[in-house]
Structure 1
Amino acid sequence: MGFHYPNLELFSEPGVDHEKPEVLVYEKRGNNLHLVAVEYAAMESFTLFGHDSHPPHGEVPFHTLHAWVWKGNPNGVFANFNPNVRCPSE
């Protein structure tokens, strides 16, 4: 799923703002990190860009919505997971 870098200050604000994603998602390629997606997150479900957020799963207690803007996703731009993103251990 890549490396997630949250902006913890944004988690304290209610709702989501399309201009201020709560998380930036990076993929490591060689020795460099490349931005591949943003992730919106909130305690309550939300709709953004016409798409409903995904319910909490696993250890993630938030409703989330990824936007795979910089790395193509065969499952769709707003799919929860992107099989094209690899972690170094894979």
Structure 2
Amino acid sequence: MSARPRPFIAALALAAATSLALGAAPAATAVPAAPATTAEKGDGFPHPDLKRTYDATVKYRSEQAAIADGYLRTDECVEDPELGGMGYHYVKPAHVGSTDPTKPAAILYEEDHKTGKRELVAVEWVVPNTGQPRPYLFDRPFDGPFDFEPVGPHYSLHAWIFKKNPRGVFAPFNPRVHCTPCPEDHPHP
């Protein structure tokens, strides 16, 4: 992909600015993991560490829990007309640079058009590119690097662990996620 939607850039810019205000983001480190066998998985995830991610982030099904834990809410949804959507990014500046399976930098929500509430769909790790080797997590390389001002060069990795993605758990966009405005007959609560 040659471009990222502006809302994602705005969310990362907010995270980068906050991160700079709080101090430098932690250095990225690769998390080595042995490939999983089918018997080890048992939970349906393509890598055993995704269970740790799920356990650490399932509480964010409550948007209020995510905000209380330091994830910054955004009000713009990311969608590509050809690839699908990512949803609303909530970024936690303290986790930008993390490759810890339990500390994604962003969590992604999609609006339920019947209730107007946001539902957790995915998580994302964002690692600034400082010249280090490409980060890996879950035996996969991160996507990128992408270079957007004022965020600068960075890598990212998505994990669709709360909403099935027909393109795969680690694909950046999900064709089942949409940002279309809610119909007028379904007002927000």
Contact residue 15 and residue 46 of structure 1 kept, 8 A: no
The Cα of 1:58 is off from its aligned counterpart by 6.7
Partner of 2:170: 78
Could you tell me how far apart the structure 2 residues matched to 1:28 and 1:3 are?
8
Percent identity over the alignment is 40
Q: Deviations over 1:36-58 (max 9, x none)?
A: 00001101321111111000347
More helix by share: 2
Secondary structure of 1:55's aligned partner: strand
TM-score, reference length from structure 1? 0.85
TM-aligned CA distance change 1:25 to 1:42, over 3 Å: same
TM-aligned CA distance change 1:58 to 1:82, over 3 Å: farther
Q: Which has more radius of gyration?
A: 2
Partner of 1:3: 88
RMSD, aligned α-carbons: 2.0
Contact residue 107 and residue 122 of structure 2 kept, 8 A: yes
- Gapped runs of 5+ residues in structure 1? none
Contact residue 28 and residue 88 of structure 1 kept, 8 A: no
More strand by share: 1
Contact residue 126 and residue 157 of structure 2 kept, 8 A: yes
The Cα of 1:80 is off from its aligned counterpart by 1.3
- Gapped runs of 5+ residues in structure 2? 1-85, 183-189
How many residue pairs match? The answer is 88
